[in-house]
Amino acid sequence: MSPPPGNRSPRRILSIWLAQLSLDRWRQAAGCARGQGEDAGPLVLITETAHGPRIDAVNDAGRAAGIRPRSMLADARTLCPQVAVHPSDPAGDLDFLERLAAWAQRWGPWTAMDAPDALLVDITGAAHLFAGEERLLADAAALFAKRGLAARLAIAPTAGAAWALSHYGPDRVILSPDDDAVARLSGLPVAALRLDEDVLVILRRLGLKRIGDLTDRFAEREGRDALHRRFRNRRAPAANPLVRLDQLLGKVPEPLLPVIPPQMPLVQRRLVEPIRHRDLLDQVVRDLAADMARELEAKGEGARRLEVGVWRVDGEVIVRRLEMAAATRDAAHICRLFAAKLDDIDAGFGIESVRMRASWSEPLDLGQRDLEAAAEDHGTSLAACVDRLTVRLGPHAVRRPVPFASHIPERAQRWQPPLEAEPPSPHGFQEQLAFHARPLKLLDRAEPIAVLYATPDGFPQKFRWRGEVHEVARVEGPERIAPEWWREKSTVRLRDYYRIEDGAGRRYWIYRHGLIGDGRGGMPDWYLQGLCA
């Protein structure tokens, strides 16, 4: 039932606390359900700090063993030596939370992130669409459980009250506008006010452990002045309990920054008469591809994923998706790829509407389209070739190398399916090594070589590789590459790389693994890792 016209609905905020966001993301990446596989035993996610690894998240088995978040890994290993350890990804969690905030707009007109693990949804005037707030909470809980996420929910008139109830109250609790907020919230701990840890320590030392202690003792003017004098130099809301208390009770407004998802380019055709023939559908798709190309060009972007939706007269909707190896806005190329996707569409009694949407787009600068078109006509366009192979063989049958930010040669690139998102560009990192020449070809695995004689400067005069002895004629180097201390143990040895040329004019890239007397092993070993032009 919709709210009465002319009456403004009281504000209602839905707070969603994703209690195990990091662990749930790890479970999805590892492909195991909660309490199964490696997650069945004690498990922690850690972050490297200046004082050693610190625990960010711990599963139920780890909590039962006495491990707590924000403790040091060394202390956790003392309590539970068999604990499994994996690195956490705070940046990935924040990105996942932002995407969840956009997805959560199904329950309200706007959402806001409350990092690192909570969402706030304004559901004012929207609960009647779900037949009441109880049904809305049940729907939200079911959808989060379906996505494999542990969520606690609460609804209240203010963001502070909703956050407090979702974190420290019963699950799926509702604080209605007619309820006595002070009485309902008085039993919650002062940590429900979203205060900094040092402020919580001060309040506990003062004997203020519950919200009711603040409302009972400092409701009058004299009491507020006494508490205000202690925190008068603290301007931030999280450092001032009086500000947080007023926000909790709705006496002070609390601005929230909504998450605004990017608008996806969309074009559509509503047909005057339903169509049933394939050639007419192809013509509509060509028109939509041309419109989409203009939309993308106006935004300076290219499409990586496109969706074509076909609405039939009987109400059935048929959707076909297409992903491409590189961003494009070439209408002809899009039509050729969709040709194989539309073969199995049954028009039924007719198609009355067709829509094309770019659900994934990337920046695409203006280029020399005539050269790329000529390359595609001759079958030499790499992106077009990858797209055709992917459509025919499947999205995981083709892989491509992508750069990775690492100065270790064998880690400088990774292989991934061409339809996955590109990792953050490491070009800024690699430009620091631009003056170092790299070989034309790197071996899949560095091969050991036998050095017959090494000069006092460190490079060999002769070496044996694959049964053949090579005389060294010219040498360039060394280029020293130290191990990545944040990833490897301190016993890993450094490398000195040399570009050498033998008597036959062939050039190689070799390195000495370790130094004499470095305390990390015996005599250094030699390896050949690449072939130069």
Q: Is the pLDDT of residue 140 over 90?
A: yes
H/E segment holding residue 307: strand 301-312
Question: Is the previous residue joined to 253 through a cis bond, with omega within 30 degrees of 0?
Answer: no
Q: Is the pLDDT of residue 324 over 80?
A: yes
Q: What is the pLDDT of residues 23-50, one digit of tens each?
A: 888 888 777 767 666 677 889 998 888 8
pLDDT of residue 153: 94
Q: Is the pLDDT of residue 425 over 70?
A: no
Residue 94's DSSP bridge partners are none
**According to DSSP H, which parts of 331-489 are helical?**
331-341, 369-377, 382-393, 427-430
H/E segment holding residue 77: helix 73-79
Q: What is the pLDDT of residues 448-480, one digit of tens each?
A: 999 877 665 577 888 999 989 998 998 888 888
As a whole number of angstroms, the longest Cα–Cα distance in the chain is 94
C-alpha 394: how far from chain center: 24
- Here the tokens at position 38 are 């490696």
C-alpha 31: how far from chain center: 17
**Long-range pairs, 191-196, Cβ under 8 A, ≥24:** 192/163, 192/164, 192/167, 192/168, 193/160, 193/164, 193/241, 193/244, 193/245, 193/248, 194/160, 194/163, 194/164, 194/237, 194/238, 194/244, 195/238, 195/239, 195/241, 195/244, 196/236, 196/238, 196/239
Q: Rounded mean pLDDT of 193-204?
A: 89
pTM of the model: 0.60
Residue 376's DSSP bridge partners are none
Residues 6 or more apart whose CB falls under 8 angstroms from that of 6 comprise none
Q: Supply the mean pLDDT for the chain.
A: 84
Q: Is the pLDDT of residue 367 over 80?
A: no
315: alpha, beta or left? (left if phi > 0; alpha if psi -120 to 50) = left
Cα(99)–Cα(5) distance, integer angstroms: 34
Cα(526)–Cα(496) distance, integer angstroms: 10
Q: What is the pLDDT of residues 153-167, one digit of tens each?
A: 999 999 999 999 999
pLDDT of residue 269: 93
Amino acid letter at 282? Answer: D
Q: Rounded mean pLDDT of 274-288?
A: 92
pLDDT of residue 435: 45
Q: Rounded mean pLDDT of 313-333?
A: 89
CA-angle at 453, arms to 447 and 459, nearest 5°: 70
pLDDT of residue 429: 45
